[in-house]
Structure 1
Amino acid sequence: MNAGKTLFAQVMDFVPWKTFGRIIERHRGDTGVRTLSCTELFRIMAFAQLTWRESLRDIEACLTANQSKLFHMGMRHIPARSTLADALNSRDWRIYHALAMRLIDRARRLYAQEPMGVDLDATVYALDSTTIDLCLGLFDWAPFRSTRAAVKMHTLLDLRGAIPAFIHISDGKMHDVHVLDMLPIEAGAFYIMDRGYLDFSRLYTMHQCAAFFVTRAKSNMNARRVYSAPVDRTTGLVCDQTIALNGHYASKDYPEHLRRIKFKDPQTGKVLVFLTNNMTLPALTITALYKNRWQVELFFKWIKQHLRIKKFLGTSENAVKTQIWCAVATYVLIAIVKKELQLKASLYTFLQILSVSVFEKTSVSCALQTDAYTTAPPDCAKQLNLFTF
């Protein structure tokens, strides 16, 4: 039993504090700060994420009720609500973005050998975005509709371990296709996208970088068949074709051949048409890759359900981005702890246990022990039977 550190402190030990300190110095994050440093703000935000605190008053009340345990959590004092609000507005969000990216690099190395569901040695990414609705009266810097505000979280998810490799936070009006201009393209990797990212000039740039993409074709795509490969229709494949674009601008944007695969889902009967620049993989492997794109949808659903990114503690752009990046860093940190300690519990179970036991002084492995146990029945040999006749 670990009698010295709380569970929260043990989780925080996995944060690279020296690297975090250099990031803070680079951005001059603690310049002029007297009461709440950038590291303390991250601890409080991580605490709010792990224990599901939803307001500044909620955080203050919970920390006040456990004031004697704050030292063991690495906190010096309880910040006032106004101090915490000022910190969220003034601490540069890029500090927590850099910390999250550092944790992401570490997590991706740990999960590099995780099974992916497809027998493929290359790295596979799923690209998509999710919209977080906001109140236009409070978040006027993030316009979306005439009466609504929103921010978009554009995410490139590494399918090995479901670790986000790239995240961009924008206002709700930014079209998904523009995020392709910001992606760090990795040669030899596969990028799985839906039809919202179908832009031939940007896809050709990805092709020239020696990366592969898999997306779906639009119904009005103008193309001609160049060659048809034989397919086994019993597997659901309808055709496997090499095509060339016919449109004047489309043919200039993507002057080379593409591969079109038509697949009919045996379960739903829905016909899907895929486009890719990979000409060597089996057609069924391409369809399986696109099927795995749903992992990014599950990732968005998971973080919206288990992290605090739908209710924000501040209304400024800096406060919103700080909270989102702290949430991402917390998610990746929990994934690192799970892998480093080789814990069998799921991330959901891990978060549920931490939410009610962050102040407990026990080892993480003992707290997450999920082995069922039974209490031995008492010895009833000397117990008289009331109903003996």
Structure 2
Amino acid sequence: MNLGPTVFSQVLAGLDATEVARAAALHPMPRASRALSAYDHFAAMVFAQLTYRESLRGIEACLLGRRALAYRMGIRGRVTRTNLAYANEHRDWRVFAAIAGVLMRRAQRLYGETPPELGLEADLFALDATVIELSLALFPWARWQKAQASVKLNVLLDVRNDLPAFASLHEGNRHEVASLDEIPVYPGCYYTIDRGYLDFRRLYRLHLAGAFFVTRLKAGIRYYVVASRPVDQTVGLRCDQTIQLSSVNGRAAYPEPLRRISYVDPETGHALVFLTNQF
């Protein structure tokens, strides 16, 4: 019989139980469960995600049915439906946010020195959002449309090492641009931003902080061309211009020049117009 460490225990080996206990101590439950520690709760929910358990009954059946194996997996507590239901309802979400922070910082230390592949000396970040649909019956507070519920996940990805540098979760009807007020801004670094985040006042704040951004220009934005530079059309470039926003609100939000680059993808034929503060 193989009595070596299980694959699951190796997956969780990067997280010390004392770190979870420390996070749980900062945000205690009204009545702590002695039979199910914060670490056991976290491990059980990770197990549920990795094994596609769809109910508390399914988690209980797997982990209680093989107690010896669950112990070797690192789960010491009694994982019952009652214990899980109570912990899921009463354990503060900030405990899991703190666990995520510990793992993210550890991953950054391990992979933060990965050599750049794009020829950039500075770090490159990518910002985008995705909508996670929920059951309206279970999450009535997350109503998004008339008969739908959702939350919106905004993630700032460090492209060099493929690790999240920032993440936030909000109601589905919250506009993406508000996340530009929350992301960490590092002078000299590059931010590629989906055009759903196009807000000139917030982009100007990035510019003043010394960061560079690249986004796509929306149709209908009023501007005039200050200067044009020659381009190599054989690689898909169509124009490289210095522009200035011409509307009153636009000039008030972003009073300095911007760079507009038009490009046609030679494989798909799609025309793309980029906007950046990098000259």
Letter of the 1:164 counterpart: P
Give me the identity figure in percent.
46
Partner of 2:69: 69
Residue 109 of structure 2 aligns to a residue in which SS?
helix
Letter of the 2:27 counterpart: H
- Greater CA drift, 108-117 or 93-102: 108-117
Change (3 A) 1:13 1:29: farther
Matched, 1:54 2:54: yes
Q: Deviations over 1:296-355 (max 9, x none)?
A: xxxxxxxxxxxxxxxxxxxxxxxxxxxxxxxxxxxxxxxxxxxxxxxxxxxxxxxxxxxx
TM-score in terms of structure 1 length: 0.68
Change (3 A) 1:152 1:113: same
Partner of 2:272: 272
Kindly name which structure, 1 or 2, has the bigger radius of gyration based on alpha carbons. Answer: 1
What is the 5 A alignment of 1:105-254? 105-114=105-114, 117-254=117-254
Partner of 1:97: 97
Q: Would you say the 8 A contact 2:243–2:259 is kept in 1?
A: yes
Matched, 1:44 2:44: yes
Counterparts of 2:32 and 2:135 in 1: how far apart (Å)?
A: 32
TM-score in terms of structure 2 length: 0.93
Residue 141 of structure 2 aligns to a residue in which SS?
coil
Please list every run of 5 or more consecutive structure 2 residues that lacks an aligned counterpart in the other structure.
none
Of structures 1 and 2, the one with the larger relative CO (CA 8 A, separation 6+) is 1
Matched, 1:15 2:15: yes
Q: Would you say the 8 A contact 2:117–2:160 is kept in 1?
A: no
What is the 5 A alignment of 1:253-268? 253-268=253-268
Change (3 A) 1:16 1:190: farther
Q: Deviations over 1:257-309 (max 9, x none)?
A: 11111111111211111000111xxxxxxxxxxxxxxxxxxxxxxxxxxxxxx
Counterparts of 2:77 and 2:254 in 1: how far apart (Å)?
A: 59
Counterparts of 2:122 and 2:186 in 1: how far apart (Å)?
A: 10
Change (3 A) 1:226 1:186: same
Counterparts of 2:7 and 2:206 in 1: how far apart (Å)?
A: 44
Letter of the 2:7 counterpart: L
Counterparts of 1:75 and 1:261 in 2: how far apart (Å)?
A: 55
Offset of residue 48 of structure 1: 1.4
Please list every run of 5 or more consecutive structure 1 residues that lacks an aligned counterpart in the other structure.
280-389
Offset of residue 244 of structure 1: 0.9
Change (3 A) 1:265 1:208: same
Matched positions, count: 279
Partner of 1:340: none
Letter of the 2:176 counterpart: D
Q: Deviations over 1:347-380 (max 9, x none)?
A: xxxxxxxxxxxxxxxxxxxxxxxxxxxxxxxxxx
Q: Would you say the 8 A contact 2:37–2:77 is kept in 1?
A: no
